[in-house]
Amino acid sequence: MPDTKTDAPRTFFEKVWSDHVIAELDEDPAECTTEGTTEGTTQRTALLQIDRLFLHEVTGGVSLRELKQAGRATSSPGQVFTAIDHVVSIRPDRRPGEGRNETATAMIEETLVASAREGLQVFNIGDPRQGIVHVISPELGLTLPGTTLVCGDSHTCTVGALGTLGWGVGSSEGVHVLATQTLRQAKPKTMRISFEGALRPGVSAKDMALHLIGSIGANGGIGYAVEFAGSTVRSLPIEGRLTLCNMGIEFSARYAFVAPDELTYAFLKDREYVPKGAAWDAAVAYWRTLPSDEGAQFDREVKIDSTTIAPQVTWGTSPQQSVGIDGTVPEPDDYDDPGTRELVRTALDYQRLSPGTRVDQIPIDVAYIGSCTNARLSDLRVAADVLRGRKVAANVLAICVPGSTQVKRAAEAAGLDQVFRDAGFEWLEPGCAMCATGGADRLANRRVISTTNRNFENRQGPKTRTHLASPATVAASAILGHFADARTFSTHA
């Protein structure tokens, strides 16, 4: 609703931010704040109410340890949740609390013990609600429109797809939230990115994200809270919006979101942690006031013609280094800026690619479907449509890791697991798995086409050459043994 003091139209972000301000604080130099600000500027800061905190075993155990060392206790245990997901074993016969190695198991054990001490709800291996934190929080209805949610993971912006203001925090910030349910934050500028027009067949939210990052650059969102809007976004199902918002941090936008609408309410209704009965009606009435008012001003506007987007695949070591599946690897001399030319040369050297190579001729060693970006049920369905009745190329290791136990069970009930297995994919247990260094033992020094969100050097293992793409593109590439356009396959119903 418009600000009662000024009656000026407000953005979604302004409304949610102002609803959570406990106190306005002194201005802070941006270089003293965390990721997602503009160096050398001064920003207003505020003490914000944090509605929910998610912990996991990598940073959460540290936060809980430091909380105890400080002689403090969790101020609101009912608002804090622990997901065991980042370093869990993904073996079919894994046990509760089992990590991928001894160090990981110790991290999990510390987090479980500390969470029990603080009286926190834990989603451990064996719990039907276990899974990657950014997958299970929407599944359970823990990400509600107009609320704030933080987690020790930069991809917490994923939950913005449901109108939640979510962002990643460090372990020390996690301690502050545990102890006070508040956090000091510098207020960012606002950006609206409007995708307009119908997507072409075979083009997905992942392709939208990679196209956007390739257009505005990996630093294009620094200092902004980004609202995704436009006819294309309105037509995306919630799981597509989750993928789009997940990639917000990849162009350095700390906050990324879609204002709630009827699709949001339909997705959330009757989920475990969502209000029921009269409380639901009251919540929806409030949520309907949140979308940006007509005439609300943004600090920056970006418009994308969705009809021009092709299936994307990254060729380099940044998500911004992407190209259409029918394109070619660029020449360093294609870029005017000397620094950019050097970055391109470095990326090509790491990826062992030659300029001018057709993208659809680049061979792969591994096809990987998983992560908080693209391991939801709809992602597995799209991949299964490509794989059904076909076989993975003989030289390709193909792996699928569902994003949550709920996703895995739903996929198995629909027979999708058998489609993956028949095609030659490994079908494993839910977890972050081989997204961040988790593939070191199997993916090292190999070329991987992956549904994950980052293709940095060594991201999936030592000298692993990661290329980002959509589930359909990964599935098609697994079949042919090289980057492939899924649109050339006739899929089965």
**pLDDT classification of 37: cutoffs 50, 70, 90:** very low
Q: Determine the pLDDT at residue 44.
A: 86
Alpha-carbon distances, residue 142 vs 46, 67, 293, 417 (angstroms): 24, 24, 26, 27
What's the CA gap between 53 and 338, in Å, rounded? 43
Is the pLDDT reported for residue 28 higher than 80?
no
**What's the length of the chain?**
493
> Each residue of 303-319: pLDDT tens digit?
999 999 999 999 999 99
> Each residue of 322-346: pLDDT tens digit?
999 999 999 999 999 999 999 999 9
**pLDDT classification of 167: cutoffs 50, 70, 90:** very high
> Do 432 and 132 meet the contact criterion of CB atoms below 8 Å apart?
yes
Say what percent of the chain tops pLDDT 90.
92
The closest alpha carbon to 203, from 307, 75, 327, 298, belongs to 307
> Each residue of 346-377: pLDDT tens digit?
999 999 999 999 999 999 999 999 999 999 99
Q: Determine the pLDDT at residue 413.
A: 98
Strand order of the β-sheet with 397-400 is 425-427, 397-400, 366-369, 447-450, 465-468
Alpha-carbon distances, residue 69 vs 63, 82, 110 (angstroms): 10, 19, 14
Is the pLDDT reported for residue 205 higher than 90?
yes
What's the CA gap between 395 and 398, in Å, rounded? 10
Is the pLDDT reported for residue 101 higher than 90?
yes
For all residues of the chain together, what is the average pLDDT?
A: 94
Is the pLDDT reported for residue 2 higher than 50?
no
Q: Please, what is the Cα angle at 362 between 357 and 364, to 5 degrees?
A: 160
The closest alpha carbon to 472, from 254, 283, 313, belongs to 313
Q: Does domain 52-304 have CATH number 3.40.640.10?
A: no
Q: Determine the pLDDT at residue 4.
A: 46
**Which regions of the chain carry the CATH code 3.30.499.10?**
52-304, 312-485
Looking at the chain, the number of H-run helices and the number of E-run strands are: 16, 19
Q: Determine the pLDDT at residue 43.
A: 72
Q: At what angle do helices 471-480 and 377-387 cross, to 10 degrees?
A: 30
What is the domain class of 312-485 according to CATH?
A: alpha beta
> Each residue of 208-234: pLDDT tens digit?
999 999 999 999 999 999 999 999 999
| DSSP code for 187 | P
Residue type, 20: H
> Each residue of 254-288: pLDDT tens digit?
999 999 999 999 999 999 999 999 999 999 999 99
Reading the block at residue 299, the tokens are 């600090």
| Window from 13-17, 25-29, 119-123, 344-348 with minimum mean pLDDT | 25-29
Is the pLDDT reported for residue 36 higher than 50?
no
Is the pLDDT reported for residue 299 higher than 50?
yes
Residue type, 384: A
Determine the average pLDDT of the residues in 10-28: 92
Residue 469 Cα to chain centre, angstroms? 14
The closest alpha carbon to 364, from 474, 277, 460, 269, belongs to 474
Contacts of 183 (CB under 8 A, 6+ apart): 47, 48, 50, 150, 169, 173, 176, 177
> Each residue of 127-144: pLDDT tens digit?
999 999 999 999 999 999
> Do 254 and 188 meet the contact criterion of CB atoms below 8 Å apart?
yes
